[in-house]
Amino acid sequence: MKYGLKSTVKFVVLMTTVAVISGCQTMSPTASSSTLYDMLGGNQGVTKIVQGTLDYTLSDSRIAHTFDNSNVKRVETLLIEQICDLTDGPCEYSGQTMERSHRGLNLNSMHFNALVENMQKAMRDNNVPFRTQNQLLAILAPMHDDVVGRSR
């Protein structure tokens, strides 16, 4: 016999651990077939998250000034549309690229991070699970360079 009892026990423990960890990360059958858009609460949830993010942002001295010349209602509409599109909702984003819409604003990582912090607060306010928050942020994170101008 190639494998002894000790090896077999280790293998069973390893496989049990993998199964338990996988089980902890698996959602219910209905939730696992849902899109991230659904997990965020659909249109109502995404709208609340965006509105909360903008509320926090417009009262945040670190970045509120960057919206001085913006049509905030249009920004809100486009953010809702963009998040809906990126999370497999029924929308198609119709705004400009992130690089184009942020050109000339002289934004840096502090501005980007402040907006992310405000979005996290808004998601917490709306009881979005931490794992779901991270899934959304992982989709938005690659936009960093376009927003702060490093890829221009």
- 126 vs 1, higher pLDDT: 126
Report the 10 Å Cβ neighbour count for 98: 18
pTM: 0.76
For the chain, percent of residues with pLDDT exceeding 90: 66
Continuous H helices in the chain: 5-25, 29-32, 36-39, 42-58, 72-86, 98-102, 109-125, 130-140, 144-148
The model's confidence at residue 149, banded by pLDDT at 50, 70 and 90, is confident
Residue in the structure block whose two tokens are 């089980």: 23
Q: What is the mean pLDDT of residues 84-91?
A: 96
How does DSSP classify residue 140? H
Report the 10 Å Cβ neighbour count for 74: 10
Q: What's the sign of the alpha-carbon dihedral 50, 135, 41, 37?
A: positive
Choose which CATH entry (1.10.490.10, 3.60.15.30, 3.40.640.10, 2.40.50.140) describes domain 35-148. 1.10.490.10
For the stretch 8-53, pLDDT in tens is 344 343 444 333 333 444 344 344 559 999 999 999 999 999 999 9
Residue 33 CA to residue 73 CA, distance in Å, equals 33
Domain regions of the chain by residue span: 1-33, 35-148
